Structure 1
């Protein structure tokens, strides 16, 4: 059960790290004040949820895994290329929605296969998924 807890918490932690990285990279490119505020709020939620996952890992005597530098580099390159020509609110919203959907997919996959994880850990995963779905709903308004 502890391994399942750690696996699910690690997935949440890594997803929030990637989400935070994406928001920090894209915020300087956002000209629309409403969209910028929504993405800044999203970044704060990533920080909060990532900190919770990290605390829960520490409580189990574990440390979060190393940063995935290749994924981070690919994210940076993708954002740089995808915003070089098109920085419209709809394009930025689509980029953010794609990343958000990837986070949902990873956490959902692990939540579904790790039945033995503690209720508290599952709840954090479910909260992450609900929060990400709300982010997508907000971003859709910019399409």
Structure 2
């Protein structure tokens, strides 16, 4: 596996891990049942994409991405800070939209920097981008 393919798969892994962790953290603050169900479905889809990326990395004997404890603490701290005074459904939806938009930006950036990555990692990255875009569409109804 070429280094550009590894870079794309690692970014997919990083992106999906952060999304799943954010959903886990914020799920306790969601009081709208429909939004909570949607977050559970999103987490499952992120998990599927994550597992595909990790599987490809492991098959190629490449080192998967490892998040630091600092990154985890920063994410949890940011979510708790942003929901300290406002846990309304619209505010949480806005936070989730911002997270999805950041994921879209990060994936597009990694694809642009690794244009020679090959078809399989590019297709998986595009699948993640498309999923994130649909998430944004679904979440706008909660604003």
Q: TM-score, normalised by structure 1?
A: 0.96
Structure 1 segments (4+ residues) deviating >6 Å: none
**Shift of residue 103 of structure 1?**
1.0
Question: How far apart, in 1, do the equivalents of 2:93 and 2:70 lie?
Answer: 24
Q: Distance in 1 between matches of 2:73 and 2:101?
A: 19
Aligned to 1:73: 73
Q: Deviations over 1:43-71 (max 9, x none)?
A: 11111111110001112111212213222
> Are 1:8 and 1:114, in contact at CA under 8 Å, matched by a contact in 2?
yes
Offset at 1:112? 1.4
1:96 aligns with 2:100: no
Does residue 1:134 correspond to 2:131, yes or no?
A: no
Aligned length: 143
Query: What TM-score comes out, normalization by structure 2 length?
Result: 0.96
Instruction: Mark the runs of 5 or more structure 1 residues left unpaired by the alignment.
Output: none
Over the aligned positions, Cα root-mean-square deviation in angstroms equals 1.0
CA contact (8 A) 1:23 1:39 kept: yes
